[in-house]
Amino acid sequence: MRGQVQGVGFRPFVWQLAREMGLTGVVLNDPEGVLIRAAGDDLDGFEQALVARAPLLARVDSVESVPCEVEGEGFVIGATEGAGAETRVTPDAASCADCLAEVRDPGDRRYGYAFANCTHCGPRFTILRGLPYDRAQTTMAAFPMCDACRAEYGDPGDRRFHAQPVACPDCGPRLWLEPEGGLAEAVTRLARGEVLAVKGLGGFYLACDAANVEAVALLRARKRRPSKPFALMAPLDVLRRFARVDDAAEALLRDPAAPIVLLPKGAEALPESVAPGMAELGWMLPYTPLHHLLLEAFGGVLVMTSGNLSGEPQAIGNAEAREVLAPFADAFLMHDRDIARRLDDSVERAAPPMVLRRARGRVPGTIPLPEGFGAAPQAVGYGGQMKAAICLVKNGQALLGHHLGELDEALTWDAFLDADRDYAALFDHRPEVVAVDLHPDFRASRHGAARAESEGLRLEEIQHHHAHLASCLAENGWPLDGGRVAGIVLDGLGLGPDGTVWGGEVLLGDYRGFERRSWLAPVPLVGGDRAQAEPWRNALTRLDAAGLAEWADGLFPDAPRDMLRTAAARGVNAPLSSSAGRLFDAVAACLGICPGRQSFEGEAAMRLEALAGEGGDAGYAFGHDGPVIDPAPMFRALHADVIGGAGVALMSAQFHAGLARVFAERAQALVQDGEAEAVALTGGCFQNARLLQETMMALGEVPVLVHRTVPANDGGLALGQALVAAARVLAD
């Protein structure tokens, strides 16, 4: 049995099933998965039941059967054989109902215990130091089991059989509050408006009362996070008061991965300062016994944001937290189980389904390689500069690593290097080819090139938007020889082979190559990185290009417009850019949405999306000049609507609809002309649910590929890089 079959209760499940069916034999873990030697009647039925009735956390990729001789009587669970890393590691999983029932039962020996778990739930990847997945290879090795826990651990009929983190109050990790007290004192401090550092599975949180305006303001000031939305945690019955939860959203909230789920605001309101300017809030349910105990005692909603200074990795060690988080937290809710690796929370949306940040609960889950990649070499993709993540290809699977952050931050860069070493060692990965972004100054590109040179590996440089396209193809299982697709790629920026900055393209291509068929009319990106942070710069260049310089002068009277125009004219630090992300910034600035400076990446675009109302079916018209898509007519129509007193909600809706329509028309034509088999929607702009839905409606009946489990943003870039590199090797 290959796949996610170790550490999920698979062996006791097999043992029980074999006994039920009267079989003899043995089941054990080995480097390739779970090995079963079985004899008896109806072995075909047994094999089918192994897949159909597999444990909740199991993911069976394949079953390989050969005849064998089986010795002995009865059916037993054998010891692990061999060493290596050919199988998968299970992601961390939210507490199951059985464990929570014990934690809430005054008569149970785990009553009130913050670290109860079993084979169906609890920490996995965040406590793992090496393979095979045995207790000695985890951070639980420091806690010898008591007799009662050892009896559960050794009983194949118990749901804690070989649950490596098994523990109880007599032998397991302990919880305490610093400077003094316990859980009750932590709740008291939260209730009076203090900020607490709370140790989770993959790192520390900073928590406060989400309903307390002063507490939220205090946390924002200390964390230096003026407006980026905070994540929230509450039990489902409390959450429903503040968010609209349909069946799909509830299922995602209850998923063992326990991600943060973006939900529309509900009947009751939390302070606007929790997520300024946003129509959705990010919610997660308590997913550990500690969370449940804390939230049930508190009785309200908690802000639960990463324990770090904005932009830096979150703290994971107790000593590190005391040092780094001291300026932020009034007290620390600590425990003594070490965290082996830092993992943020995953962030997802239920409708339309998408993963915005792939992390705890999803990693290190793997993605099967599409048809045609069976002979693919081991490969590593190093991603981009923003939303960094690493991807390993091995044995027909792609392992897309966890979200790391922005690599221009020194501590994030250190975390990137740690993750590179960690994944390679943990999964016994020896690449033949290294894939990097075409941009030579990205830190990940330099790192990959240096590794390839030092180890004598093949290096493949992959254009940014080609990697986005390949990522979408790979997630959807598009075969290597499945034909070309029309990729609508809308994002912030990526270096094009022509030396300009791309970001609003229709590509015609596959894994092996691409052609650029349509693109946004480029304008100077004046100031480089400053243009990403200051939306008015993008508005000025776009309005000047549309013949609306006077409107720009009126919108930004105090900005250094002359200096910007001079730099644009002379091409000084002003590369030409077709970026759709910067187009969103420009429109937002024209409508008065944080024109001066964004406090976090994507703020202007997110606020623009949040303001989009009903209407706008026609959409603003864009110009057509051969392959070039010109936003100038759109800006002129926007200007007329502003003068005419149109509402921002309508103008935002018109912009979204117009942009979706013009790109959809170009991609749709490639399918209708027989050049493309389908349309793929990718790039960070397609995290915008309004844009995604408008584009899919505009595409009509043509086949459409979208992201659901791999981020459309740069968090999915490494997957595409690795697949393009593998395709090139296979073509040689």
Helix (H, G, I), strand (E, B) or coil at 424: helix
Digit-coded pLDDT (tens) for 25-34 = 999 988 788 9
Q: Measure the N-to-C terminal CA separation of the chain; round to a whole number of Å.
A: 33
Region at 582 (left for phi over 0; alpha for psi -120 to 50; beta for the rest): alpha
Task: Give the pLDDT band of residue 85 (cuts 50, 70, 90).
Answer: low
pLDDT score, position 605: 96
Structure tokens at 581: 């992300």
pTM over 0.85: yes
* CA distance linking residue 143 with residue 336, whole number of Å: 10
* CA distance linking residue 35 with residue 349, whole number of Å: 37
The label of the residue with tokens 């702009």 reads 685
Structure tokens at 283: 């919610």
Q: 236 with 284: CB under 8 angstroms?
A: no
The residue with greater pLDDT, 9 or 576, is 576
**For 132-145, b where at least 16 C-beta lie within 10 A, e where not — what string?**
bbbbebbbbeebeb
Mean pLDDT (the chain, rounded): 95
Digit-coded pLDDT (tens) for 133-171 = 789 999 999 999 999 999 999 998 899 988 999 999 999
Digit-coded pLDDT (tens) for 48-66 = 999 999 988 888 988 999 9
Digit-coded pLDDT (tens) for 392-409 = 999 999 999 999 999 998
Element spanning 717, H or E: helix 717-731
Residue 62 CB-density burial (10 A; 0-12 exposed, 13-18 middle, 19+ buried): exposed
Task: Give the pLDDT band of residue 214 (cuts 50, 70, 90).
Answer: very high
CA 472-490-722 angle, to 5 degrees, is 35
Residue 628 identity: V
Range list of H helices, 644-716: 648-672, 689-699
Digit-coded pLDDT (tens) for 335-363 = 999 999 999 999 999 999 999 999 999 99
Task: Give the pLDDT band of residue 593 (cuts 50, 70, 90).
Answer: very high
The residue with greater pLDDT, 309 or 46, is 46
CA 439-445-449 angle, to 5 degrees, is 120
CB-based contacts of 384: which residues, under 8 Å, 6+ apart?
437, 439, 442, 444, 464, 494, 714, 717
The candidate with the shortest Cα–Cα distance to 476, out of 357, 371, 359, 348, is 371
* CA distance linking residue 59 with residue 1, whole number of Å: 10
* CA distance linking residue 487 with residue 707, whole number of Å: 12
Q: Which residue among the candidates 11, 189, 225, 358 is catalytic per the annotation?
A: 11
Q: Which residue among the candidates 2, 19, 29, 308 is catalytic per the annotation?
A: 29
pLDDT score, position 84: 56
Q: For residue 8, is pLDDT > 90?
A: no
Q: 556 with 540: CB under 8 angstroms?
A: yes
The stretch 83-88 carries a mean pLDDT of: 59
Active site residue 308: no
Per cent of the chain over pLDDT 90 is 89
E strand intervals along 510-570: 514-520, 523-524
Digit-coded pLDDT (tens) for 113-128 = 999 999 999 999 999 9
pLDDT score, position 9: 85
Q: For residue 621, is pLDDT > 60?
A: yes
Q: 373 with 726: CB under 8 angstroms?
A: yes
Digit-coded pLDDT (tens) for 443-493 = 999 999 999 999 999 999 999 999 999 999 999 999 999 999 999 999 999
Q: What is the 8-class DSSP label of residue 518?
A: E
E strand intervals along 106-236: 175-178, 196-199, 204-209, 231-233
pLDDT score, position 88: 67
Q: 346 with 284: CB under 8 angstroms?
A: no
Active site residue 537: no
pLDDT score, position 57: 87
* CA distance linking residue 606 with residue 611, whole number of Å: 9
Q: What is the 8-class DSSP label of residue 484?
A: -
Question: What domains are defined for the chain?
Answer: 2-77 (3.30.70.100), 89-173 (3.90.870.30), 175-348 (3.90.870.40), 364-476+714-731 (3.30.420.360), 520-705 (3.30.420.40)
The residue with greater pLDDT, 687 or 425, is 687
* CA distance linking residue 388 with residue 400, whole number of Å: 11
Digit-coded pLDDT (tens) for 527-554 = 988 999 999 999 999 999 999 999 999 9
Digit-coded pLDDT (tens) for 642-662 = 999 999 999 999 999 999 999
Neighbour tally for 272: CB within 10 Å: 11
pLDDT score, position 33: 86
Structure tokens at 488: 């609508």
Q: For residue 616, is pLDDT > 60?
A: yes
Digit-coded pLDDT (tens) for 708-731 = 999 999 999 999 999 999 999 999
Neighbour tally for 318: CB within 10 Å: 17
Q: 417 with 409: CB under 8 angstroms?
A: no
In DSSP notation, 240-267 reads HHHB---HHHHHHHTSTT--EEEEEB-S
CA 15-19-22 angle, to 5 degrees, is 140
The stretch 492-514 carries a mean pLDDT of: 96
Structure tokens at 417: 């290097």
Structure tokens at 238: 């409390």
pLDDT score, position 87: 59
pLDDT score, position 7: 77
Q: What is the 8-class DSSP label of residue 108?
A: S
The residue with greater pLDDT, 93 or 79, is 93
Neighbour tally for 94: CB within 10 Å: 25
Q: For residue 692, is pLDDT > 60?
A: yes
The candidate with the shortest Cα–Cα distance to 589, out of 567, 564, 572, is 564
For the chain, state the CA radius of gyration: 27
pLDDT score, position 528: 84
pLDDT score, position 192: 97
pLDDT score, position 549: 97
Q: 257 with 346: CB under 8 angstroms?
A: yes
The stretch 687-703 carries a mean pLDDT of: 96
pLDDT score, position 407: 94
* CA distance linking residue 459 with residue 440, whole number of Å: 13
pLDDT score, position 286: 98
